[in-house]
Amino acid sequence: METLKLSALPEKDKQQPINHGRFEAYVDNGGTVMAVAGKDYCVIAGDTRMSDGGYGIQTRKYTKIFQLTNKCVLATSGMQADTIALQKRLKSMLESFEKEHGKPMSTPAIAQFLSNTLYYKRFFPYYTFNLVAGVDEQGEGWIWTYDAVGSHERVKYSSQGSGNQLVIPLLDNQVSNNIFHSIFYNNNNNNNNNNNNNKINYNNNNNNNNNNNNNNNNNNNNNNNNNNNNNNNNNNNNNNNNNNNNNNNNNNNNNINNNNNNNI
C-alpha cells in the first residue's frame, strides 16, 4: 500500500514595501564663497554656478554676494531659496534701521543682527552658510563666519560652501603666515617703541630724582647754616648778657665797698 504524501502549500510571494517619494525640505545648491581681510581692506569672492544638489547645473550666472551697506557685504552658500529669503529680511531690517536712526548700521552690528536672525529660526533654520565681510568704524577689515543656527566667529579669513574643504588649507598656507608675520612684526615694533619710551621716562625720572635730591641737600645745607647762625647769634647774645650782668654785679660791689669806707 502506497503511503500518502502531502505536498507543501505553495508559498505566497512576499509583498515588497511601496516606495513613496520622500519630501525633502532642504536642497544644497552648492557653491563656494571666501573672504580675506587686513588692516585697511577686505576682499570677498564667490563662484556663480548653482547646481541642483548633484551634478546637474541649473545656471552659471547666479551671484552669491550681496551688498548690504557701503562698508558691508554678505556672501552666502547653500539653499538658493533660503538665501533669497534671508537677503530680503536683512535688507528690510537695514532700511528700517536707517530710517529710524538716520544712519546705516555698522558692520559689527550687522554681524550680530545676522546671528540673532539665524538663531531665531533655529528650529526650522535657513539652510545657508554665511560670511559677513567689511570694515569697522576704525577702517580695519574683519570677517564673521556662521553656521546655520547663528554661531559665529570674527576672523581674518574664512570660507563657506561645498568647496570649503579645498579652500581652507590654501588660505591656511598662503594667508595665515602673512597675517601672522605682519602682526608679529607690528607687535615687535610696538614693544621696541614702548621700551624706548620706558627708557626715556626712566632717565627723566632719574634726572628728576637727582634734581630733587640736590635741591633737598641745598635746602638742608641752608637750614643747617641758618641754624648755625642762629645758634651763634644766640650764643653771642647770651655771652653779651652774661658780660653785662657781670659788669653790673662788679659795679654794685664797688659801690658797696665805697659806702662801707665812707662809713668807717
Confidence check: pLDDT of 208 > 90 = no
Segment (H or E) for 84: helix 80-101
Q: Please state, rounded to an integer, the average pLDDT across all residues of the chain.
A: 76
Of 150, 163, 94, 92, nearest in space to 123 by CA: 150
Would you place residue 52 in the very low, low, confident or very high pLDDT band (cuts 50, 70, 90)?
confident
190 against 239, higher pLDDT: 190
> How many CB atoms lie under 10 A from the CB of residue 185?
10
Would you place residue 142 in the very low, low, confident or very high pLDDT band (cuts 50, 70, 90)?
very high
CA dist., res. 188 & res. 236, Å (int): 71
Strands (E), the chain: 32-37, 42-46, 50-51, 57-59, 65-69, 72-78, 128-135, 141-146, 152-155, 157-161
N-to-C CA span, the chain: 206
pTM exceeds 0.75, yes or no: no
Would you place residue 100 in the very low, low, confident or very high pLDDT band (cuts 50, 70, 90)?
very high
Residue written as cell 659788669?
A: 247
Would you place residue 230 in the very low, low, confident or very high pLDDT band (cuts 50, 70, 90)?
very low
The predicted structure's pLDDT at residue 263: 40
Buried b (16+ CB within 10 A) or exposed e, 77-112: bbbbebbeebeeebeeebeebeeeeeebbbbbebbe
In angstroms, the Cα distances linking 92 to 10, 95, 201 are 70, 5, 55
The predicted structure's pLDDT at residue 42: 93
